[in-house]
Amino acid sequence: MTTTVLALKRISGNNIVSPIGFKATGIHCGIKHKKNDLALLVSEVPANVAGVFTTNAIQAAPLMVTKEAMQQTGKMQAIIVNSGNANACTGQQGLKDARLMQQKAAEKLGIAPALVGVASTGIIGEMMRMEPIVNGIQKLEPSSELEGSILFSQAILTTDTVTKNTAYSTVIDGKKITIAGTAKGSGMIDPNMATMLGFITTDAKIESVHLQAALKTVTDLTFNSITVDGDTSTNDMVLVMANGMAGNNSLTPAHPDWEQFTEALHAVSQDLAKMIAKDGEGATKLIEVEVSGAITDIEARKIAKTVVGSPLVKTAIFGCDANWGRIIAAVGYSGATLDPNAIKIKIGSTTVVENGEPVPFSEAQLLIYLKQPEVKISVDLHQGIGKGVAWGCDLTYDYVQINATYRS
């Protein structure tokens, strides 16, 4: 286990083309007014693939096309992404448009359409304008240089204010393997996928079935543990491509270095999830809620997500107000098993509630802490050994401003 910890290394200058054999790019094709809006990620060889998708009953056309392709081949070699239009609630025409994106990207790369995933993000319910996309695809020149991944991570954004990239290396079978990710988030962010797109690349060799299981486990602890506004999008997806070019023996849960890999996948996913929460629409702060002493881990995560999703907690943190009454009220309505008289709450390292009752604390000192860009709330229920963490952001004037005028 010690070697596991030592092997995992965050890569500076991290980006999705860090793993061997990946290229990326992004351009402005004309769906948006000015900003880049079309992106392509490609592997030298067909990669094993895993994906998680929104649980929203309304699913956008690109999700259907991508799932279809994954079922057909179990492989993926490229992902074509547009921002500015979600291609959701667009009916048969939307499906045709998503398939056309897939086909045109495949032609451009000289590969089978079923090896191409499609992702879209942006406004729901407007038909795609396909001409700029079809023309744009012709102009895409993916590169294995840092610049290519920067362009990719820019072109997938909507109201995000920063690009989101991370990468780690670890050692498997004595070989260095790299795993990297990029994501977009910002609004309509709640679990079971958020309006988020996440793309993870790795040169590790791993069968799709094991990759899928690992991704599912890690997603619940990371991407599904963030919330910006409780709205679950129609377009969320996270895709992992593993092209095997690092040359390790194929990973399975029985492989002695299996944990090295899942830890790296977890680290990449958690980094991206936290970046998404921190860059929530209008956010000024990242809020982390850590719950311990719950009956189960699942209950702990449910409480953590309820607290971090409470509009009243979010506005209080925005106002740097140590209003723990709202925290305990949210714990109370989370639906979890609890004893009101056993709850302990800390804001940062300051205990504010013990045995369900207020503990005197220095408001002035806590105010200094609350002015920091990252605020941690810890809740201990003293009921069991269940633990969980969730991340979110504060609720600000800018969230309202951004969303009152989004289509205008």
Helix (H) or strand (E) holding 2: helix 2-7
The span from the CA of 70 to the CA of 48, in Å, is 9
Among 163, 233, 243, 383, binds a copy of itself (CB under 8 A): 233
Decide if 195 is catalytic. Answer: yes
Among 127, 162, 209, 298, binds a copy of itself (CB under 8 A): 127
Work out whether 139 is an interface residue with a copy of itself (CB under 8 A): no
Contact call for residues 189 and 29 (beta carbons, < 8 A):
no
Residue 178, marked binder: no
Work out whether 318 is an interface residue with a copy of itself (CB under 8 A): yes
The span from the CA of 100 to the CA of 65, in Å, is 10
Helix (H) or strand (E) holding 147: helix 146-155
The span from the CA of 204 to the CA of 245, in Å, is 7
134, burial (CB in 10 Å: exposed 0-12, middle 13-18, buried 19+)? middle
The span from the CA of 344 to the CA of 357, in Å, is 8
Residue 158, marked binder: yes
> What is the SS3 assignment for 279?
coil
Among 174, 341, 364, 373, binds a copy of itself (CB under 8 A): 341
Binding mask 359-398 for a copy of itself (x = CB under 8 A): ------------------------------------xxx-
Binding mask 30-59 for a copy of itself (x = CB under 8 A): -------------------------xxxxx
Among 44, 68, 126, 147, binds a copy of itself (CB under 8 A): 126
Contacts of 71 (CB under 8 A, 6+ apart): none
- Exactly one of 166, 195, 227, 262 is catalytic; which is it? 195
Binding mask 250-289 for a copy of itself (x = CB under 8 A): ----------------------------------------
Instruction: Provide the annotated binding site.
Output: 158, 184, 195, 281, 403, 408
The residues assigned a catalytic role are 195
Instruction: Provide the annotated binding site for substrate.
Output: 158, 184, 195, 281, 403, 408
